[in-house]
């Protein structure tokens, strides 16, 4: 059974084959969806275009989400190509690398603005355009991280931006629910990707979480994609405004020390 047969999905945030957005695009395609891809900057075209061809995706458009004109243009093209869409995937985040090391109190005004604009506001900006292409309802999903709720070393201003993203998810869910559009977020555990590589000490983070998470391992892109699949398919029909964790259970721990260390 194909869970997304007849569905059309727009996926933002593919940079390379390690991107969470790419794993989601692959899974959606495998489940029968017609998929469109968007990437941020011209330099990424040479990586994204071959991936799209591999998947048989013909809608591949550049969109820097800091530009309203580029967002308008990509949705205009999506309207011409798909006429309507059912699914929006937002897997985009950015903060200048100097903000993802050292102390949070050193965050610059510009670093704060950029992180908020690209990592949080862009979900709202994409949702407001996607609404016009979802006359029969749909599903939207974004990617967040536990650093929105708890202090994680070096995550700094990105944690603040993710907190705004999670709150935006709830406000969007309340506004778009009457349009039969569900809006959710997936809180993924650490995965080695381009974005993650920008966080100082990321390898240590992976090791720490993998050792202590209830499942005693890290998660991968495919596991995030499987959760995106149920949220964006009919399997998730009653779920909106949620932050769904795909983190091997790490977030439930009040004292993240494996019990064997006490034995």
Binding site for ligand NAD (CB under 6 A): 13-15, 19-21, 40, 63-66, 91-94, 118, 143-145, 188, 190-191, 193-196
Q: Under DSSP, is residue 176 helix (H, G, I), strand (E, B) or coil? A: helix
Residue 32 beta carbon to ligand NAD: minimum distance, rounded to whole angstroms: 23
- The answer to whether the beta carbons of residues 9 and 140 sit under 8 Å apart is no
What H or E segment, with its residue span, contains residue 188? Answer: strand 181-188
Q: Under DSSP, is residue 39 helix (H, G, I), strand (E, B) or coil? A: strand
Quote the CA–CA distance of 144 and 122 in Å, as a whole number: 13
53 versus 234: smaller Cβ distance to ligand NAD: 53
Residue 243 beta carbon to ligand NAD: minimum distance, rounded to whole angstroms: 11
- The one catalytic residue among 39, 146, 155, 245: 155
- Is 145 considered catalytic here? yes
14 versus 130: smaller Cβ distance to ligand NAD: 14
What are the structure tokens assigned to 223, written together?
């596991």
Q: How many residues does the chain have?
A: 263
- The one catalytic residue among 145, 146, 245, 250: 145
137 versus 201: smaller Cβ distance to ligand NAD: 201
Quote the CA–CA distance of 70 and 83 in Å, as a whole number: 18
Residue 141 beta carbon to ligand NAD: minimum distance, rounded to whole angstroms: 11
- Is 155 considered catalytic here? yes
- The answer to whether the beta carbons of residues 250 and 212 sit under 8 Å apart is yes
221 versus 233: smaller Cβ distance to ligand NAD: 221
Residue 142 beta carbon to ligand NAD: minimum distance, rounded to whole angstroms: 7
First-residue to last-residue Cα distance in the chain? 47
Q: Which residues are catalytic?
A: 145, 155
């Amino acid at each position: 059974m194909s869970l997304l047969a007849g569905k059309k999905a727009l996926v933002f945030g593919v940079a390379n084959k390690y991107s969470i957005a790419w794993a989601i695009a692959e899974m959606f395609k495998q489940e029968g969806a017609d998929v469109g891809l968007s990437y941020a900057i011209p330099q990424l075209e040479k990586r994204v275009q071959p991936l799209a061809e591999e998947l048989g995706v013909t809608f591949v458009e550049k969109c820097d989400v800091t530009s309203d004109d580029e967002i308008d243009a990509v949705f205009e093209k999506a309207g011409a190509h798909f006429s309507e869409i059912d699914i929006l995937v937002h897997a985009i985040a950015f903060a200048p690398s100097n903000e993802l090391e050292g102390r949070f109190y050193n965050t610059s005004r510009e670093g704060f603005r950029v992180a908020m604009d690209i990592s949080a506001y862009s979900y709202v900006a994409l949702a407001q355009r996607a609404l016009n292409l979802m006359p029969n309802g749909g599903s939207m999903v974004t990617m967040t991280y536990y650093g929105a709720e708890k202090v994680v070393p070096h995550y700094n201003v990105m944690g603040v931006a993710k907190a705004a993203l999670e709150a935006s998810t709830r406000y969007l869910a309340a506004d778009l629910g009457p349009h039969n559009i569900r809006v959710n977020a997936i809180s993924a555990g650490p995965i080695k990707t381009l974005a993650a590589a920008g966080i100082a000490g990321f390898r240590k983070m992976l090791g720490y979480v993998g050792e202590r998470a209830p499942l005693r391992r890290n998660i991968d892109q495919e596991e995030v994609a499987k959760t995106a699949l149920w949220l964006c398919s009919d399997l998730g029909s009653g779920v909106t405004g949620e932050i769904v964790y795909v983190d091997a259970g790490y977030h439930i721990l009040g004292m993240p020390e494996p019990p064997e260390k006490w034995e």
